Amino acid sequence: MQAEDMQAEDDTPLPSWRQRPKPIGFEIAYRLDGDELEIDTTRKIDRVRLAAVEQVRFVYAPSNVTSKSYRVQLRLSDGKSVTFGNLSWRSLTDVDRDDPRYHAFVTALSAAIRRASPRARFVAGKPFALWLALALVGGLSLVMLAWFSLRAFQHGSSAAGWLGLLLGAASFWQVWPMIRLNRPRELATGEVPDELVPGSDRK
């Protein structure tokens, strides 16, 4: 019985993820193999030792107005980094997503990093300086649009006023998630934030 169980384990496919990160370019395959991450870029295969991972960062990085794009960045001890996301481009306008599989792969990868590099730092959101700049610019833009609309209404230009309000609403809809989700915060080692890694089956 034990031999059968061992065979079943051997036949279990290794956690993997495939992504075409840009509309024009090759697909990249990521495969977790023990304490290494295998990266197949079609042209070559690289192997990253998970013990060399110093930081794991989760961010929300929409690539356009409609796509909800999330990314994971691994920073290595040699200064290099590995970044991948949940979206795979089929064409210039069409994207494919398999969030449950993405979440499963990121969860398995995070657990493997926790074992191989217990001192690795897990963080969510943008670095504080970048996040603060985003929040300030976004807030200032909304204030300017509100001021523009107010002045337009005061001068009897209703069309311009409503246009300003419409632009303000659209800007808020786009910018607020970037500010809220990318708030910098520390995570426990191996923790996977569901709000930045879509596909969790937890309710």
* pLDDT tens digits for range 149-172: 787 777 788 887 777 667 767 666
Contacts of 148 (CB under 8 A, 6+ apart): 160, 164
Closest CA to 161 of 150, 169, 172, 170: 150
Is it the case that residue 65 has pLDDT exceeding 70?
no
Is it the case that residue 3 has pLDDT exceeding 50?
no
Contacts of 66 (CB under 8 A, 6+ apart): none
Is it the case that residue 85 has pLDDT exceeding 80?
yes
Q: Please indicate, yes or no, whether the overall pTM of this predicted structure exceeds 0.75.
A: yes
pLDDT tens sequence across 172-181: 667 888 889 9
Domain segments of the chain as ranges: 2-125, 128-178
Higher pLDDT, residue 77 or 141: 77
Between vectors from CA 44 to CA 43 and to CA 47, what angle results, nearest 5°? 155
What pLDDT sits at residue 170?
Answer: 67
Q: Per-residue pLDDT averaged across 56-85, rounded? A: 88
pLDDT band for position 5 (cuts 50, 70, 90): very low
Higher pLDDT, residue 186 or 200: 186
What pLDDT sits at residue 63?
Answer: 67
Is it the case that residue 8 has pLDDT exceeding 50?
no
Report how far apart, in Å, the C-alpha atoms of 15 and of each of 68, 98, 111 are.
23, 14, 12
What pLDDT sits at residue 2?
Answer: 41
pLDDT tens sequence across 108-140: 999 999 999 999 999 999 999 998 998 888 788
What pLDDT sits at residue 92?
Answer: 75
What pLDDT sits at residue 140?
Answer: 80
- What class is the 2-125 domain? mainly beta
Is it the case that residue 1 has pLDDT exceeding 60?
no
